[in-house]
Chain A
Amino acid sequence: MTPVITVENLAKRYGDLEAVADVSFEVNPGEIFGLLGPNGAGKTTTVECVQGLRHPDAGRVSVLGLDPQTQPRQLRTRIGSQLQESSLPHRMRVAEALALFSSFHPEGPPWRTVMEQWGLTEKARASFGSLSGGQRQRLLVALALVNDPQVVFLDEMTTGLDPVARRATWDLVERIRAAGTTVVLVTHFMDEAMRLCDRIAVVDHGTVVAAGAPADLVTTHTDGVTVTFSVPGDPATLVTALAAVTGVHQVDIDEQRLVVHGEPAVVAQVGKVLVDHGLAPDDMAVHRPSLEDVYLRLVSDEES
Chain B
Amino acid sequence: MRGVGTMTRTELSLFLREPVTVIFTLALPLMVLYILNGVFGSDSAGGGEGDFVVYRGFPAADWYTPAYVALAVAGFALIALPAHMVEYRETGVLRRFQASGVPRGAVLASQTIVALLVSTVGAALLLGAALLFAGASSPADAAVFAAAYTLGAVAITMIGLLLGTLLPTTRSAQAVGLLLWFVVLFLSGSGPPPEVLPDGLRTIGDWLPLTPVVRLLQEPWLTGEWLARESLVVVGVAAVSGAVAWFAYRWE
CB atoms of A89 and B100 under 8 A apart: no
User: Which B residues are closer than 8 A to A by beta carbons?
Assistant: 2-3, 5-7, 10, 13-14, 17-18, 88, 91-93, 95-96, 98-103, 106, 251
CB-defined contacts of B6 to chain A, threshold 8 Å:
99-100, 103
Cβ contact within 8 Å between B96 and A92: no
Range of interface residues on A (Cβ < 8 Å): 20 to 34
CB-based contact A104/B14 at 8 Å: no
Chain A residues with CB under 8 Å of B7's CB are 100, 103
Give 20 A-B contacts (CB < 8 Å), ordered by A residue.
A53-B251, A76-B99, A83-B92, A83-B95, A83-B96, A85-B92, A85-B95, A86-B95, A86-B96, A87-B92, A88-B93, A91-B14, A91-B17, A91-B18, A92-B10, A100-B10, A103-B6, A104-B2, A105-B101, A143-B96
Q: Is the CB of B99 within 8 A of A104?
A: no
B96 and A104 contact, CB distance less than 8 A: no
Number of A-B contacts (CB under 8 A): 67
Distance (Å) between the CB of B158 and the closest chain A CB?
Answer: 23
Task: Identify which of A77, A89, A92, A147 gathers the most chain B CB atoms within 10 Å of its CB.
Answer: A89
B16 to chain A, nearest CB (A): 10
Partner of A104, one of B88, B92, B95, B106: B106
A51 touches B99 (CB 8 A): yes
Question: A255–B98 Cα gap in the complex (Å)?
Answer: 62
Q: Which of A141-167 contact B (CB under 8 A)?
A: 143-144, 146-147
Contact (Cβ within 8 A) B100 A87: no
Q: A96-B13, A99-B6, A104-B106 are in contact. Are A73 and B96 (CB under 8 A)?
A: no
Residues of B within 8 A of A87 (CB): 91-93, 96
B252 smallest CB distance to A (angstroms): 9
Of B3, B5, B7, B106, chain A has the most CB atoms within 10 Å of the CB of B3
Q: How far is the CB of A14 from chain B (nearest CB, A)?
A: 13
- Asked if A106 CB lies within 8 Å of chain B CBs, one says yes
Chain B neighbourhood of A92, CB < 8 A = 10, 14
Q: Is A229 an interface residue (CB 8 A)?
A: no
Establish whether residues B99 and A83, one from each chain, have CB atoms under 8 Å apart when the complex forms.
yes
CB distance from B178 to the nearest CB of A (A): 22
Question: How far is B84's CA from A110's CA once the two chains are assembled, in angstroms?
Answer: 29
Query: In the complex, A87→B10 CA distance in Å?
Result: 16
